Chains A and B, each alone.
Chain A
């Protein structure tokens, strides 16, 4: 895909095929790689299979056929999935929060990892604090606003320290401020060496963030008809601002951690 990569990808899929129950070929992808610290943007019209592709990558939905390379071994999708599942988290376009408190939502994935109760509590409290959700900790997650729900869902995923995050339309239905915040978060995750795959209808919010861009057309990954907007003066300014905010955030994190 991108020959310039020196490090091997986190996760690579080859010969992925998926047909719909009716027999229509939905996905026919020769190769797709997820790299640590890089963001892959997938665009394409509705119903072209972007969500299905993310679900196959995350291990939620089986393809008809695919080979996955993970940690130096090449295996059929089903066998590889059991090994990489815990490292890859899929986030719905609209977050689904369990009908429980915010704290219990964030705790969900930490159960069954062999952590002690105290360790779990500590991690959850720190995560809630970092994401500015402490004041909502005891509220039922279903009662929150849309933006707050999205933040809880992200926190719930990030507390597990995933190596890759799959974001389905993360900018859909967000206002300007929330878009910027989401873009800023993706940058931060990249800088923390998380691998990202993002689907989006809109190109603008991804300018300066995506490292690669493919369009899904007739089941194949092709170079996009519309390129990402070049990082012009405006975008350079925005990128610089994002960069500063990342630096600010990092400083804040290390302050709070120390």
Chain B
């Protein structure tokens, strides 16, 4: 097993020497996942707010459905997006399959289905007096909504961070709709999967380290936020 020690050493070497291919993969991961989270979270949180605060007929069945969809396997999302984008699919004419845009779309769906029920939980458990107070002080509904969200900023940010961690590490959708094309749609998880299957551990370990460090940083950040939230 001298391979592992050697591979780890070469992994660190790749990272510190700024290996172009490696850092390109890291760049793809971040570009795709940051775009997906920035697009999906605001919409998901607004829907979660409506589910928690508005009263409309299909509300409860909708909440149950979305709660069940939270644990949808990412390969199933990949399958659905693939079907929609493939040449004979509904959006086949856009020629988006095996592009970063396709990966962003897939991750938007995953993040959306993750954020809606989680944010709904945060919003539904919150103090209703925030809404009442904003409204009675004359705030129009949209402003009262923003006020309630601002009151819950720590909890909602924690949800967004957890969603980011989920999509930046997921492999199923990325590999299916991105295609793991070198220098273009190869991101950290798909690269690890490929390199490992080829017996090339160094790059896989290096990328794994990047994900671990990222997870650590996000957790430290989250911990700091929660600490700040608890003081109040």
Chain A residues close to B by CB (< 8 Å): 55, 58-60, 85-86, 88-90, 92, 94, 96, 98-99, 108-109, 112-113, 140, 142-143, 156-157, 160
* Interface membership of chain B positions 126-141, coded 1 if the CB is closer than 8 angstroms to chain A and 0 otherwise: 0101101111111110
Point out the residue from B132, B136, B139, B151 that lies within 8 Å of A99, measured CB to CB: B151
- On whether the beta carbons of A112 and B143 are closer than 8 Å, the reply is yes
CA distance A143 to B231 in the complex (A): 9
Residues of A within 8 A of B129 (CB): 92, 94, 96
User: Is B136 a contact of A58 with CB atoms below 8 Å?
Assistant: yes
What string of 1s and 0s marks CB contacts (under 8 Å) between B98-135 and chain A? 00000000000000000000000000000101101111
Residue of chain B at shortest CB distance from A113: B138
Task: Indicate whether B8 reaches chain A with its CB closer than 8 angstroms.
Answer: no
Contact in complex: B232, A99 (CB < 8 Å): yes
A90: contacting residue among B127, B136, B139, CB under 8 A: B136
Determine how close the nearest CB of chain B comes to the CB of A111; give it in whole angstroms.
Answer: 8
Q: Tell me which residues from 142 to 187 in chain B have a Cβ below 8 Å from any Cβ of chain A.
A: 143, 147, 150-151
- With a cutoff of 8 Å between Cβ atoms, the chain A residues found around residue B136 in the complex are 58-60, 88-90
Contact between B132 and A85, CB atoms less than 8 A apart: no
Decide: A108 and B232 in contact? CB cutoff 8 A: no
The answer to whether B140 touches A112 (Cβ under 8 A) is yes
Shortest B122–chain A CB gap in Å is 14
- In the complex, the answer to whether B127 meets A96 with C-beta atoms within 8 Å is yes
Counting chain A CB atoms within 10 Å of each CB, the highest count among B133, B138, B139, B232 belongs to B133
Count B interface residues, CB 8 Å: 17
Q: Which residues of A contact B127 (CB under 8 A)?
A: 96
Contact (Cβ within 8 A) B134 A108: yes
Q: Enumerate chain B interface residues (CB-CB to A < 8 A).
A: 127, 129-130, 132-140, 143, 147, 150-151, 232
Task: Knowing A109-B137, A112-B139, A113-B138, say if A96 contacts B132 (CB, 8 Å).
Answer: yes
Q: List residues of chain A with CB within 8 A of the CB of B140.
A: 112
Task: Output the nearest chain B residue to A108 by Cβ-Cβ distance.
Answer: B137
**Alpha-carbon separation in the docked complex, A55 to B137 (Å):** 13
Q: Which of B137, B143, B147, B150 contacts A89 (CB 8 A)?
A: B137
Which A residues are in CB contact (< 8 Å) with B137?
89, 108-109, 156-157, 160
Docked complex Cα distance between A85 and B137 (Å)? 9
CA distance A98 to B146 in the complex (A): 12
Q: Which 5 A-B pairs have the closest CB atoms?
A: A96-B129, A109-B137, A142-B232, A90-B136, A96-B133
A108 to B137: give the CA distance in the assembly, Å: 7
Contacts of A156 in B (CB 8 A): 137
Residues of B within 8 A of A98 (CB): 130, 133, 147, 150-151
A108: chain B residues at CB < 8 Å are 134, 137, 139, 147
Nearest to B143 among chain A residues (CB) is A112
A92-B129, A98-B133 known, 9 other contacts, Cβ within 8 Å? A60-B135, A94-B129, A96-B133, A98-B130, A108-B137, A108-B147, A109-B138, A112-B143, A140-B232
Bound form: Cα–Cα A66–B130 in Å = 26
A171 CA to B132 CA, complexed, in Å: 20
User: A74 vs B81: C-alpha distance in the bound complex, in angstroms?
Assistant: 55
Would B132 and A55 count as touching, CB distance under 8 A? yes
Complex Cα distance, B130 from A112, in Å, reads 18
Q: Which of B130, B133, B138, B143 contacts A85 (CB 8 A)?
A: B138
